[in-house]
Amino acid sequence: MQMFVILLQNTLGAGGMGAQNSLESPTEYGYTARMVESEKLFERACCVIPGGVNSPVRAFRRLERAPFFVSRAKGCHLTDEDGKQYIDYVGTWGPAILGHAPECVLEAVQAAIPQGLGYGIPTRVEVEMAETVCRWFPSVEKVRMTNSGTEATMSAVRLARGYTGRKYVIKFEGCYHGHVDSLLVSAGSGALTHGEPDSAGVPEEFAALTIALPYNDTAAVAAAFARYPGQIACVIVEPYPGNAGFYLPRPGFLEFLREITARHGALLIFDEVMTGFRISPAGVQGKVGITPDLTTLGKIIGGGLPVGAFGGRREVMDCVSPLGPVYQAGTLSGNPVAMAAGLAQLRYLEAHDSYTRLEMLGARLEEGVRRILRDLALPLTFKRSGSMFCLFFSTEDVYDLRTAMRGDFEMFRRYFLSMLEQGVYVAPSPYETGFLSTAHTEADVDATLAAMQRALAKVRQM
């Protein structure tokens, strides 16, 4: 036990809760948090997994408490190991657009499994997946499947360098493109949450080829192209950034990126791992009508199983091995069970007018949040597009990393804990996005708004 207390204190940081006295004690939020099973599992996890989690975004370290451990999930609900249920707005960090464990995906997976779990040789379902992606994303003429969004961005950047014969990559501060060495520079998501936007272990020489610029700053992009003439391989961007909170491009910004990359012979890569199949069937590019050279995808395309993809112009994609000299591979890439799950999810989305429903739910949530903020005279910033949203604990507009970081973390922490207490799970960091699913009902949204009203009223008294 002593060892666990030390581990937990290390994990939570100085001033963190003590394992012995907090999880079962009345908290300042006036409830008795019963996390007996989660606490036990976290104790075991801390002994054998760094920080007790398999991805840093899952740790509640900065919130000064242990995470809850999930035992099952269905629709928009998570149930933890202690039997407490939550309305979930994290949605597996994006994939669960139909909610958790949708019947259509379960059936497809159950039908695929008896045929074998993977062969490392081509299958029909990979062709169907590639045809589906190319049909949904007109900019994608050819696509290669990977096992994660990280693999997709890593491969897309390598391809851009191989195709152009150039070294430099422009990215934007606060955008997160997975844990690729050269892209862990001013990175968002867990890297930002835990204070490591420029990860240790990335040699200076690697990072020196990455130019990190403020999002929405056209002058900075123009200056970088002027400074490195003929040397910039690509600009990679989350067209709607969702890893430092969620904010939007200013009018003309994405168009400017398209124009300047084309003028300088650099490739434009839209990282639509989060926004693909979500903001519209063809992601942000489908909504704003911009054609990138390459697109990276993940999350929704896997239906909850580990999948990523990168694709784009035929001429560029034909540089990928075995047609071209850019090597890219994967034992499990195009795994038939994952392809079946992803295809089932995409087919359901297409057949059920899902985007209208997601927009209706998003609009209902936004209207409610704005009403609460007005009623409480708490002019916080709220951003939304379709089923992605973020409440910033800042009264100023948010349009880049600097403005996203102006939020009051302590306010966020109290808000998060109050929501959790009331059975609503929002991302455990102010630098993440909220996701709605088609499984959320109007009643779920209304219950969430009622919880939010109470949480924000409490926060306002700070």
Question: Which residues form the interface with ligand HOZ (CB under 6 A)?
Answer: 55, 57, 93, 176, 189-190, 243, 432
Min dist CB 29 to ligand HOZ, Å, is 26
CB nearer to ligand HOZ: give 154 or 233: 154
Min dist CB 433 to ligand HOZ, Å, is 7
Q: Distance between CA 138 and CA 327 in Å, rounded?
A: 25
Min dist CB 113 to ligand HOZ, Å, is 25
Q: Which of 163, 171, 247, 299 is catalytic?
A: 299
CB nearer to ligand HOZ: give 42 or 93: 93
Cα→Cα distances 322→144, 160, 277, 327, 329, Å? 12, 16, 28, 8, 10
Q: Which of 89, 163, 168, 176 is catalytic?
A: 176
Question: Does the active-site annotation cover 348?
Answer: no
CB nearer to ligand HOZ: give 369 or 427: 427
CB nearer to ligand HOZ: give 150 or 261: 150
Instruction: Please give the residue whose beta carbon sits closest to ligand HOZ in the complex.
Output: 55
Cα→Cα distances 3→38, 46, 61, 226, 389, Å? 17, 10, 18, 56, 40
Helix axes 124-136, 336-351, angle to 10 degrees: 40
Q: Distance between CA 434 and CA 96 in Å, rounded?
A: 12
Min dist CB 431 to ligand HOZ, Å, is 8
Q: Distance between CA 155 and CA 162 in Å, rounded?
A: 10
Question: Does the active-site annotation cover 415?
Answer: no
CB nearer to ligand HOZ: give 166 or 299: 299
CB nearer to ligand HOZ: give 243 or 422: 243
Q: Which of 80, 88, 271, 293 is catalytic?
A: 271
Min dist CB 237 to ligand HOZ, Å, is 15
Do the beta carbons of residue 277 and residue 436 sit within 8 Å? no
Min dist CB 78 to ligand HOZ, Å, is 16
Question: Does the active-site annotation cover 299?
Answer: yes
Q: Where in the sequence numbering do the catalytic residues fall?
A: 176, 271, 299
